[in-house]
Amino acid sequence: MRDILRLVLKRLGLGLVTLLVISIIIFFMVELLPGDLAEAVLGQGATQETVAALRQELGLDRPAVIRYLDWLSGAVVGDFGNSLISGDKVGEAISGRFLNTLFLAAYAAVIAVPFAILLGILVALLRNSLFDRVANVLTLTSISSPEFFLGYILILYLAVKTGLFPAIASLSSDMSFGELLERTFLPALTLVLVVTAHMMRMTRAAIINLLASPYIEMARLKGAPPWKVIAKHALPNAWAPIINVVALNLAYLITGVVLVEVVFVYPGIGQLLVDAVAKRDFPIVQACCLIFAATFILLNLAADVGAILTNPRLRHPK
């Protein structure tokens, strides 16, 4: 137990260092953008006195290093400053949108994870069959297609031609849970098509690799049925790579939804990021990027911990 705790703390420390480096990159990449932020906010017709007053209000007259340390100290406690456009707190503007993104990611994950694992086991059992080849072609096509292309295809056939689902995922506070699931089905299905292929192919590869092991051959020689060989002998030893790929795809579901949210006009943090970039609302841009980075690092940490707990060789490296 002590070895596991030491490994987890080591991974957590590396994650914090990585997040610190990413925060430096996010802040100073924005600083390197051409143009003056105060002039961009006020417009070309602003006087020099007005621009100077806004620069002082935003703290742009101070050195960049000092402003970064102030921004980082505020970000640690959840204070990312105020929006340049609306003047509202950035944390308040992001919180509701981030919850919407988490809901969409959870919706897609509930469908994609069990479906991908079961499909991966099935194609591993039916390796080199027609079903295996068709499944591999379809998943390869899915994983090679951009999210916006899949989204528009789903809108064309499931919204425009058939009218089964709404093309725009507009949300309101008075809708029921069933209406919420219906309106968000198409963006969730788009994410499912993107991540299922990767998880299915990794599950298939892990199972097939283990099926050639001596203890699997022994179980078969004893007359164990194929489903029992998979469930009792192969799958427990394949959990480590499967958990890794599932966690990475969950991270993608949260951090890679920008295009999907834009296509379906879904009110999530990805749509907010795109709007903030268009309006040059840099406090929101910096906060969204930092939240995406923290989420990705946290889920990678969860993948490492899951791999450690499911693999005795990682729990006892000596």
* Contacts (Cβ under 8 Å, ≥6 apart) of 70: 59
pLDDT at 29: 84
The pTM of this model reads 0.82
Phi-psi map region of 99: left, alpha, beta (phi>0 left; psi -120 to 50 alpha): alpha
pLDDT at 186: 92
The answer to whether residues 284 and 87 touch, using CB atoms and an 8 Å cutoff, is no
pLDDT at 56: 74
pLDDT at 189: 92
Per-residue tokens: 155: 């809108």
pLDDT at 81: 82
If the chain, 318 residues long, is cut into consecutive pieces of 10 residues, what is the mean pLDDT of each piece? 74 87 88 68 69 72 83 86 80 87 91 89 84 86 84 90 86 84 91 87 82 78 76 74 80 82 89 85 88 87 75 58
pLDDT at 39: 65
**CA-CA distance, 247 to 105, in Å (whole number)?**
12
pLDDT at 167: 86
The full set of domains in the chain, from first to last, is 2-76 (no CATH), 97-310 (1.10.3720.10)
pLDDT at 237: 74
